Amino acid sequence: MPDVRAVPDPGGRPAGTPATRSVRRATVLVRLLRHRSGSIGLILTTTFVLLAIAGPWIAPHDPARPNYRNLTAGVQREHWLGTDAFGRDTLSRVLAGARYSISIGLAATVLGALVGGAWGLWSGYAGGRVDGLSMRLVDVMLAFPGILIAIGLVTITGPGVGPVIFASAVFGVPIFARLTRASTMAMKERAFVEAAHALGARGGRVMVRHLLPSVIAPVIVFATLRSGTTLLVASGLSFLGLGVQPPAPEWGGMLSDAQLYLAVQPLMAFAPGIAITLAVLGFNLLGDGLRDVLDPTLRT
C-alpha cells in the first residue's frame, strides 16, 4: 500500500536542458526558503545533518565515559542536560547519537529509494508478465503492515548498524517500487519515449536517459517524506532492543534505557525523544515544502 501522502504524478515533464536545469535548481531553493514550513524543515534538516557530521566533535564530554559519583543528575553547570544511569553526559550522548540515528535514517532511505526505484522503473518499463510477477511480490511485501518486515529482518540478521540500515531500507523498497512503476507506466506512453525508441535507443538507455529524469521528482519528494518515517522505524528497532546495541548512543536505544529511570531523571528520556521528534519533523516539513515547490500535483 503506497503511502497515501504521495500520489504519483502522471503528468510530469521531461528534463530540461542543462542551462534551464541549473536555473530551476536555484529557484527551487529560493521558493523553498519562501515556503513557511518548507524553510523550517530545511533549517531543521540541515542542522541535524551537520550534527550527524560534527556531533561527536562538538560534544562537551566523552559520550562513553561513565562517572559513578554523578549518576542520573539533573541540569548542572557541567552537564546541561544532566547525566544518565552511568553518569555519562546526556547532551554529549545526544550530540554523538546524531551520527547513528540520522545517518542510519538517511542511508536506509537512500538505499530503499535506489533499489525500489530501479525495481519500479524496470517493472513499469518491461510491462507484461515480468511486471505482473514483480508487482505480486510487492503485494506480498506490502501485506505485512509497516514495521513488521523490518522487525523480522533485523531478528534474522541480528542487531547492529548495518542490519538496521538493511531492514529499514527493505521496509521502504516495495513502496518506492510501486510509486516509480506508476510514474513510469504513465510516462512510457509519451511521445518523447516513442521518439527515443524510433531513433534506435535500447531499453536500458531509454530507462536511464529518458524515463528516469522524468519520474525522479516524485521519488525525491517521497524519499524526503519517507526519511522521517524511516528514522522512526530505525530508532523504533533500537528501542525494541533489536537494533543498534548499547553503549552506542543511538536515540531509540537511549529512550529504552531511560524508561527505567523515568521517575528518577526524566531528562534522560526527554533529550533523545525531543531530538528524534525534531529530526522527523524536519524531514516531514521539508518533504511537504519540496512537494509544494517541485510538484504541485502531489497532494497532501
Partner 1 sequence: MTAYVAKRLVQAVPTLLGVVVLVFFFVRALPGDPARLYVGTDADLATVEAARRQFGLDRSLPEQFVFYVRGLAEGNLGRSFRARMPASQVIARHFRATLVLASIAVSVATVLGVALGVAAALRRGSLVDLGITSASILGISTPSFFLGILLIYLFAVEWRVLPVAGSVSPRGLVLPAATLAAAGLGTIARFARSSLLETLGNDYIRTAYAKGLASGRVIGKHAIRNALIPVVTIIGLQFGFLLSGTVIVETVFNFHGLGWLLIQSIESRDYPVIQGLLLVFALQFVLINLLIDMLYAAIDPRISYA
For partner 1, the binding residues (CB under 8 A) are 1, 4-5, 37, 136-137, 139-140, 143-148, 151-152, 155-156, 158, 228, 232, 235-236, 239-240, 252, 255-256, 258-259, 262-263, 266, 269-270, 273-274, 276-277, 280-281, 284-285, 288, 299-300
Minimal distance, residue 67 CB to partner 1, in Å = 24
What's the closest the beta carbon of residue 46 comes to partner 1, in angstroms? 17
Query: Closest CB to partner 1 among 164 and 258?
Result: 258
Nearer to partner 1, 121 or 275 (CB): 275
Q: Which stretches does DSSP call E strand in the chain?
A: none
Extract the C-alpha cell encoding 53. Answer: 557530521
DSSP letter for each residue of 202-258: -HHHIIIIIIHHHHHHHHHHHHHHHHHHHHHHHHHHHHTTSSSPTTS--HHHHHHHH
Task: Name which of 184 and 284 has its Cβ closer to partner 1.
Answer: 284
Residue 207 or 254: the one with the smaller Cβ distance to partner 1 is 254
Please identify, using beta-carbon distances, which residue of 146 and 160 lies nearer to partner 1: 146
Give the position of cell 521519488. Answer: 219
The least distance separating partner 1 from the CB of residue 279, rounded to whole angstroms, comes to: 9
In 3D space, the residue among 276, 175, 250 whose CA is nearest the CA of residue 218 turns out to be 175
Q: What size, in residues, is the chain?
A: 300
Task: Please state the closest distance from residue 213 (CB atom) to partner 1, in A.
Answer: 28
Minimum gap (Å) between residue 30 Cβ and partner 1: 23
Query: How does DSSP assign 74-93, residue by residue?
Result: -S-SS-TT-B-TT--BHHHH
Integer CA distances (angstroms), 180 to 10, 109, 116, 148, 150, in order: 10, 15, 8, 23, 21
